[in-house]
Amino acid sequence: MKLQFKQPIKLLLILAVVATSGLLMSHCNISPNNKELTANNLKLETVVTGLNMPWSMAFLPDGRVLVTERGGKLRIVNGSQLDPQEITGIPKVYYRGQGGLLDVALHPNYKENGWIYISYSSPKKEGEAGDDNGANTALMRAKLDGHQLTNIEHLYKASPNVRGGVHFGGKILFDNKGYVFLSLGERGQKENSQNLSKAQGKMVRLHEDGKIPTDNPFVKTKDALPEIWSYGHRNPQGLVMHPTTGTIWAHEHGPQGGDELNIVEKGKNYGWPLITYGIDYDNSIISDKTEAPGLEQPVIYWKPSIAPCGMTFVNSPKFKEWNGDLLVGSLKFQNLEHLVIKGNKVVKKEVIFDKIGRVRDVKQGPDGNIYVVVESTGAIVKIGPKA
């Protein structure tokens, strides 16, 4: 009788202890002392202001930062100071709509060879194909001597020239295997994303000196441009390589509700405008299909569109819990998105740093902090853990 009475109490006690400790533990998980990294334990600092329509940045080994201004100037930021003297030697750019001076990237062996790669909207020159007063995206490289670009080499220009100010792409990526990739928008002519004889809506792959690799996928295809690596893109303005697997990830501006994140692979067709999750900006239907055989599916798409621009993989001891994740900038909502990546999937998406301005570029700096180029405020901001 006594035993029968005691046992349930014991059981109840055990249950109570388990429940309480469970509650305590779950409480621990949301307390500020936990290990989880959120925007709350990060701080945002303005590094420099006074830039005019900045587009992209590159970190020089001496600590200075190169910044492109879309109007056509290359600037130097030294600590928190914007060098008033611009760098000379930038060619004339087509500054209209989304066009102008675009990306800047250093060669992976910059310390040894000093090559700086620059992309821009290049106005039509005599003898080039396409519309008079048109333009298309070009890639050049040069070395920096004081405030002057020297050894300028024009490596590539997308053909044909097209009139109008939209969809230049323009992101540069080195794969550390001796190749450089350049993203190209379709210049507002969506059907040409599927046309292999035109460099619109494509990713192109070049040797670092601009020569076209003989193992590109369409080198032997009749009427196809040999520089093409992948096609069916709309306007890709985020292009990065995974720090450990080496896969190439790109995001692109889609139509309304159709911005995409893709894993870019050799010879593949990413579907624009044959398949899309969005509709056109005049509300017309572009395609009633969102998938079709032979056309790649995005990793994710954004509905509503965020107008993605700039992107980086996190690979930093300062952001351990986020390593391997992506940070994506949004022009439209003026924030950053943190995409949690598992393998080839996005398993979680969260907005961090809302209303920081129109984000043009997101990069991890050599110090392991995240740097963001904000177009609307003309600033570079730094994101790092609170002390």
Partner 1 sequence: MKITSIITCGAIYGLTFFSNSQEELAKSMARGKELYKESCITCHLANGEGVKGTFPPLAKADFLTKYPEKSIRAVKFGMSGAIKVNGVDYNNAMPPSGFADDEIADVMNYIRNSFGNKNTQPVTEKMVAAVKEK
Under the criterion CB under 8 A, does residue 210 sit at the interface with partner 1?
no
Of 357, 372, 373, 381, which one interacts with partner 1 (CB under 8 A)? 357
> Which of 257, 324 has the CB closer to partner 1?
257
Q: Are 137 and 88 in contact (CB under 8 A)?
A: no
Q: Are 253 and 234 in contact (CB under 8 A)?
A: yes
Under the criterion CB under 8 A, does residue 53 sit at the interface with partner 1?
yes
Burial grade of 385 (CB within 10 A; 0-12, 13-18, 19 or more): middle
DSSP 335-360: SEEEEEEETTEEEEEEEESTTS--EE
Q: Which of 27, 107, 147, 167 is catalytic?
A: 167
> Which of 216, 335 has the CB closer to partner 1?
335
Of 186, 358, 359, 362, which one interacts with partner 1 (CB under 8 A)? 358
Cα–Cα separations (whole angstroms), residue 344 to 9, 53, 147, 247, 289: 51, 34, 42, 9, 23
Under the criterion CB under 8 A, does residue 307 sit at the interface with partner 1?
yes
- Alpha carbon dihedral 349, 350, 353, 354, in 10-degree steps, equals 100
Under the criterion CB under 8 A, does residue 351 sit at the interface with partner 1?
no
Taking the C-alpha atoms of residue 33 and residue 386, their distance in angstroms, rounded to an integer, is 13
Strand positions, DSSP E, 158-287: 172-174, 179-184, 202-207, 228-231, 235-241, 248-253, 259-264
Of 114, 165, 324, 368, which one interacts with partner 1 (CB under 8 A)? 165
Q: Compute how many other C-beta atoms are within 10 angstroms of the C-beta atom of residue 10.
A: 9
CA geometry: angle 51, 56, 57, nearest 5 deg: 85
Of 200, 262, 287, 334, which one interacts with partner 1 (CB under 8 A)? 334
Q: Total binding residues for partner 1 by CB under 8 A?
A: 24
What's the distance, Cα to Cα, between the start and end of the chain in Å? 61
Instruction: Kindly indicate which of the ranges 32-40, 270-278, 280-288, 362-370 contains the residues binding partner 1, using the contact rule CB under 8 A.
Output: 280-288
- Rounded to a whole number of angstroms, the minimum distance from the CB of residue 165 to partner 1 is 6
Q: Compute how many other C-beta atoms are within 10 angstroms of the C-beta atom of residue 35.
A: 8
Of 91, 164, 210, 385, which one interacts with partner 1 (CB under 8 A)? 164
Under the criterion CB under 8 A, does residue 355 sit at the interface with partner 1?
yes
State yes or no: is 154 an active-site residue: no
Instruction: Kindly indicate which of the ranges 15-23, 78-86, 134-142, 275-283 contains the residues binding partner 1, using the contact rule CB under 8 A.
Output: 275-283
Contact set for partner 1, span 68-107 (CB under 8 A):
70, 95-97, 99-100
> Which of 130, 165 has the CB closer to partner 1?
165
Q: Would you state the structure tokens that stand for residue 189, as one six-digit string?
A: 């002519």
> Which of 164, 368 has the CB closer to partner 1?
164
Of 215, 282, 288, 317, which one interacts with partner 1 (CB under 8 A)? 282
Q: What residues are annotated to the active site?
A: 167
Q: Which residues bind partner 1 (CB under 8 A)?
A: 53, 70, 95-97, 99-100, 164-166, 188, 281-283, 307, 332-334, 355, 357-358, 375-377
